Structure 1
């Protein structure tokens, strides 16, 4: 007998993990966790808005209000404004680690008030009962009933890492290729160190404590043990680029590690988009306190390499090198259309080792394979560069991506032998609607003999003594 409650499963069903849909359209959820708004409780819209704008600029589309830490109307209003979905936790903390709620009735009264207060915000897509675990039965049943009766269009999940979700972590440095193998499905928490810019570090660590790395860094999440230990990170830096010799050298090499790692976190998700990956959220995006781990921007709105890596990996049309098997994919989150993808492999002496352009009919909201490379045979034991350019089928450029690659990590030290680049900078500015916009162009004028390395520091009017431009 036919029943309205039974229907065929849609084709392309990604598996058992959560898939978020808005108005019936599936959304590849890619974003991160937001904890306390600000340790000093600066929660005005004016203070919080730059963080939301930066999330939008990085192509993030979901943020998790971890443990319901933000209770500010401005949080939800800004999420609405910038088109960010909100995964909203209630405040039941880690099971078998923190105390259970002692007054379930009071807990549910607070939950009822929270739902009624914020349910009018379109940004909310998920209500979550507990961080890393499942609430006790009375609370879980009560929350499910509250969401069903008060906000029935939103999804309720009892847990952040169980029941159609992946487990939490990892939180330490991992080889970038590992992100193409782990956390298949919908992963709500994974992260790694994320070192701020040199200027940002100098703004919160006193000069005597900056170098060598001191215990003061531990106040900013640079830990030697437990879940945030940095030993793997430092070992990777030593192997790939050599042990740092100064604070400046450490930050320069950290930006390389952080860019490769954060880009791989999201490219690893895209490499298996919908088969079965449907969501991935880094721990965390926005720090409430000056931090050296688990973020992709600084407490003062500064943006380090992890921000730009996220922005690159999450662009709506994106060609990527899958580090686990050296295949090249085109990710297209828009409608199906024709693109031209140029794949180049270049030596550090600027010799072209491979150069092919592929005409790709990109599927809508999906991953389309382009080609597969054999990088080891091209590299012949050296470091090489992989350059991916995407152009619209009619010609205009759409995206570009760039990798440094070697069969053995230690071979990447060849990058440090590149000659310094001769960089020319130019800037233009314009004013409109009461705002001033500055555009800065950097040009490598050092000739075409070989790739070169460049170091840039942002200054206002060229002075190291004046404030940074952060908003």
Structure 2
């Protein structure tokens, strides 16, 4: 699995280098070396000389953290496995110097006459001293995890072209005591950086607090004028529909121009689009930096960008350049989507309503922490994770405030797959003083004013806005997680920074603000966060735009065995009166107990059985959550955001796929419940409903309801035409009497399907219902089914799998499909499935598409195993 992932990663790196080279820009991401400051006698002036010998220095991972480098050099064990994290020294105990490191990089570069060479850092945690060829580069302090920095190094380059960069990276000034509180003792929030690194209820402390050159480092070459921070605003008036001929949209384009010369420079700022050149003359004074706006451009019949499930994610390419005397001084390539985000107050639900291009969108979202807790980011991992969110039929991701301003690569994937984004700024109610908390070192009044340097926070926020504002997916800015920033920071964001740098997006003061959703129930305005009776989602009204509500998320046995040592592969037993379980590893990895949710399926016999039954619960929990909220669309709710849809380490809670990118049944239950046009069963009222999340009326939908008993016998309940208005939900009929008669003794299966006029399935929903006592007695004694399978490659990356259930046998129930390596038997990850955990009724077939990017280079097989279907492996034709 890792070899395939690394191969793809290397390929993308080479591709990106080729593209960047063509633009006079390249990344410094190989052949770095590092050494702890405690073992380094020399200073930066000496270390940065190209002839200084780096004896016994370690190969370093850049971008990366100190802990990542130590792990890659086998100096520490994998902190994500078992209890290994406890074997690594924590910075709070060792003090900061232990994780203070020198990083060096040799590179070749010279500046031709008239050229300027720039050294650009996209992120260092937490502060740094930068040297090049024996000279100090940063003459002012370089501090703050989220600030980009660039330096003109033209005069510091060696004429020979041989250069050495040396960077001394210091950890955060306040590293926090990881005492078990949310964010430890809270003092990690004194800096402008990640808060989760001191520990949270979903992760153990990150021992180095993610110290390092954690984001990309570039060399870029320009001429006399440096073009930076381009800005594109797209205005899309009126109410639009996807696929139609569109009225014009307006493009507003601007950029900062920096004159590096001691004399004035005149030139032209310009771009081309749709065969037209839009330009404006510019004169810059000596050493002047100025923002220049181009004339507004009316884009005829624009190809609009839509959220996933509503329309295409069309993107335009634009090359913005500054030309001096017929020579390009500098240029920036931009990719953007034409769309406009609107918000309004829904007086009926008493919550905000979000629209895109004039069309209201019912928000089905997921909360995102960070891609990897140790900041091992990659384009391919971002792409895979966002693709999973698209495959869940979600349309929004919220980036939680205890983490970071997400990377451009994250937003590129969201633009590609159509996921709107709420980007929190870096506050949390836990660390920043919303509540009394005995685990915190300082009182609420003191914590309320974190961070220590408000100006650094404001500067970092402005820089993040400039970096991210051009992405179509970015929809909303949020002041903080469950708390507003301090008054001066809040005022700066609302009244100056956002109006100046990005005045087109909604700004929420904090994540569960009454401005977003009127909190008529009191409390924190979000949650709950554990296993719930599915009836709750349907029958009990909660906050009308819930920013956080979630449940369990344990993976299957294959997933669990990746990080649980063999002695700890047990059934977790809850310790009464606590949130922990008897096994220390399960507790350490933050397991949330399933309560008695598995008992209706029979008490688990071992961990494998536990994990299998957990998937049944997972599927029902998340399908039920999204169906329940959707059933009250525009009446009770304008949206819901699940806490949470992913984990950046090997946690045992709230995730649709594990850290290794292996999906569990949560993903497919959520995928089913979030279908754009969806037929569903209300377990409270025992009604059948249809929800339409599209912008058009759905005509002549055939609703087909079929019941199956445990032997596989079927009974048609109804087959009837229906229609449903755009963006609405409709109750169709009650089936209470059928459930009472057919499911009383052993329970039953219920197939709820919608077919279009071509008799193609629009929605395919399969329920398993308990008997009259609430037990799945029929499932527990169910006979084996016969399931045949055929697979064929249909492209270089895709397989079509056909499953057929034999007649005269029971339903082939809840089949997990995996793509495996033919030699090792290990799952090939990430693999994407059009559906999974599927059931096939007697005599019917189901087609599933599997997608794996390295399929043509891999000897793969398919593995299938169901509740009542023995495991089988299948060769590919």
Distance in structure 2 (CA, Å) of the matches to 1:186 and 1:39 = 28
Equivalent position of 1:119 in the other structure = 469
Closer/same/farther in 2, CA of residues 234 and 442 from structure 1, 3 Å limit: farther
Equivalent position of 2:638 in the other structure = 278
2:668 corresponds to 1:304: no
Distance in structure 2 (CA, Å) of the matches to 1:449 and 1:430 = 30
2:460 corresponds to 1:110: yes
SS at match of 1:369: strand
Asked if structure 1 preserves the Cα contact closer than 8 Å seen for 2:705 and 2:716, the reply is yes
Equivalent position of 2:421 in the other structure = 86
Closer/same/farther in 2, CA of residues 416 and 22 from structure 1, 3 Å limit: same
Distance in structure 2 (CA, Å) of the matches to 1:24 and 1:282 = 25
Give runs of aligned pairs for residues 79-228 of structure 1, distance below 5 A.
Answer: 79-94=414-429, 95-96=434-435, 99-100=447-448, 101=450, 102-145=452-495, 146-163=497-514, 164-165=516-517, 167-180=525-538, 181-213=540-572, 214-222=583-591
Distance in structure 2 (CA, Å) of the matches to 1:141 and 1:126 = 17
Distance in structure 1 (CA, Å) of the matches to 2:608 and 2:638 = 39
Distance in structure 1 (CA, Å) of the matches to 2:791 and 2:650 = 30
Equivalent position of 2:808 in the other structure = 448
2:752 corresponds to 1:395: no
2:793 corresponds to 1:429: yes
Q: Decide which structure has the larger Cα Rg and report it.
A: 2
Q: Which runs of 5+ in 1 are unaligned?
A: 1-9, 223-228
Distance in structure 2 (CA, Å) of the matches to 1:212 and 1:386 = 31
2:681 corresponds to 1:347: no
Q: Which has the higher helix share?
A: 1
Structure 1, 458-467 or 161-170: larger mean CA deviation: 458-467
SS at match of 1:329: strand
Alpha-carbon offset, residue 309 of structure 1: 0.7
Give runs of aligned pairs for residues 254-403 of structure 1, distance below 5 A.
Answer: 254-334=614-694, 335-338=696-699, 339-352=701-714, 355-374=717-736, 375-403=739-767
Deviations 1:143-166 (A, max 9, x none): 211223321210011121121325
Structure 1, 460-469 or 315-324: larger mean CA deviation: 460-469
2:790 corresponds to 1:438: no
Asked if structure 2 preserves the Cα contact closer than 8 Å seen for 1:241 and 1:410, the reply is no
2:762 corresponds to 1:411: no
Asked if structure 1 preserves the Cα contact closer than 8 Å seen for 2:571 and 2:610, the reply is no
Alpha-carbon offset, residue 455 of structure 1: 5.2
Distance in structure 1 (CA, Å) of the matches to 2:475 and 2:614 = 35
- Structure with greater contact order relative to length (CA < 8 Å, sep ≥ 6): 1
Q: Which runs of 5+ in 2 are unaligned?
A: 1-343, 441-446, 520-524, 573-582, 832-877
Distance in structure 1 (CA, Å) of the matches to 2:544 and 2:488 = 29
SS at match of 1:50: helix
SS at match of 2:777: helix
Asked if structure 2 preserves the Cα contact closer than 8 Å seen for 1:161 and 1:188, the reply is yes
Asked if structure 1 preserves the Cα contact closer than 8 Å seen for 2:405 and 2:424, the reply is no
Equivalent position of 2:383 in the other structure = 49
Closer/same/farther in 2, CA of residues 217 and 88 from structure 1, 3 Å limit: same
Structure 1, 172-181 or 128-137: larger mean CA deviation: 128-137
Closer/same/farther in 2, CA of residues 467 and 254 from structure 1, 3 Å limit: closer
Alpha-carbon offset, residue 377 of structure 1: 4.4
Distance in structure 1 (CA, Å) of the matches to 2:375 and 2:530 = 28
Deviations 1:367-407 (A, max 9, x none): 12211221334433441222111011353322211111236
Distance in structure 1 (CA, Å) of the matches to 2:408 and 2:821 = 38
Asked if structure 2 preserves the Cα contact closer than 8 Å seen for 1:194 and 1:295, the reply is yes
Asked if structure 2 preserves the Cα contact closer than 8 Å seen for 1:189 and 1:280, the reply is yes
Distance in structure 2 (CA, Å) of the matches to 1:122 and 1:361 = 33
Which runs of at least 4 in structure 1 moved beyond 6 Å after TM superposition? none
Deviations 1:316-368 (A, max 9, x none): 11101122211111111221021111122333244445511222111111112
Q: Normalising by structure 2, what TM-score?
A: 0.49
State how many pairs are aligned. Answer: 450
Asked if structure 2 preserves the Cα contact closer than 8 Å seen for 1:423 and 1:454, the reply is no
Distance in structure 2 (CA, Å) of the matches to 1:12 and 1:368 = 20
Closer/same/farther in 2, CA of residues 210 and 278 from structure 1, 3 Å limit: same
2:387 corresponds to 1:27: no
Deviations 1:257-289 (A, max 9, x none): 010001011001110011131111111112101
Alpha-carbon offset, residue 20 of structure 1: 1.1
Alpha-carbon offset, residue 139 of structure 1: 2.4
Distance in structure 2 (CA, Å) of the matches to 1:57 and 1:221 = 26
Distance in structure 2 (CA, Å) of the matches to 1:217 and 1:70 = 31
Alpha-carbon offset, residue 410 of structure 1: 4.1
